[in-house]
């Protein structure tokens, strides 16, 4: 468990430094998979598998999902702000809908 924990910590650091798809991250994930393949079925090893899954896959995916949501929100706010400025310059009333800012359903 300690050995896998050490590699999971190294993997987290590598994600922060070089990103999820770096060659170093891939090498650490490969090493972790080899270690996990050698484990037998026990309760302690189930915890090791959960730690590996969260570190290698779940946490990075959640981080990417949050980043994408933040980008979408920022983009929509920027579009709405530009649209309202344009209408204000033309002297028209502000009527912002998904159709007026170009969002297709």
**Whether the predicted pLDDT of 99 surpasses 80:** no
Helix axes 23-37, 43-53, angle to 10 degrees: 170
Reduce the DSSP state of residue 59 to 3 states and report it.
helix
How far apart CA 56 and CA 95 sit, in angstroms, is 46
Average pLDDT over residues 6-11: 86
Reduce the DSSP state of residue 103 to 3 states and report it.
coil
Closest CA to 27 of 7, 57, 52, 41: 7
| The pLDDT of residue 96 | 56
Average pLDDT over residues 24-41: 83
More confident residue, 90 or 81: 81
How far apart CA 94 and CA 84 sit, in angstroms, is 6
Average pLDDT over residues 13-38: 86
């Amino acid at each position: 468990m300690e050995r896998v924990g050490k590699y999971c910590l190294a993997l987290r650091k590598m994600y922060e430094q070089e990103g999820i798809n770096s060659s170093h991250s891939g090498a650490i994930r490969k090493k972790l998979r080899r270690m996990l393949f050698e484990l037998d079925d026990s309760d302690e090893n189930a915890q090791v598998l959960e730690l590996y899954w969260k570190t290698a896959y779940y946490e990075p995916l959640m981080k990417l999902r949050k980043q994408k949501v933040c980008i979408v929100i920022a983009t929509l706010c920027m579009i709405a702000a530009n649209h309202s400025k344009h209408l204000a310059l033309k002297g028209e009333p502000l009527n912002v809908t998904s159709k007026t800012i170009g969002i297709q359903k």
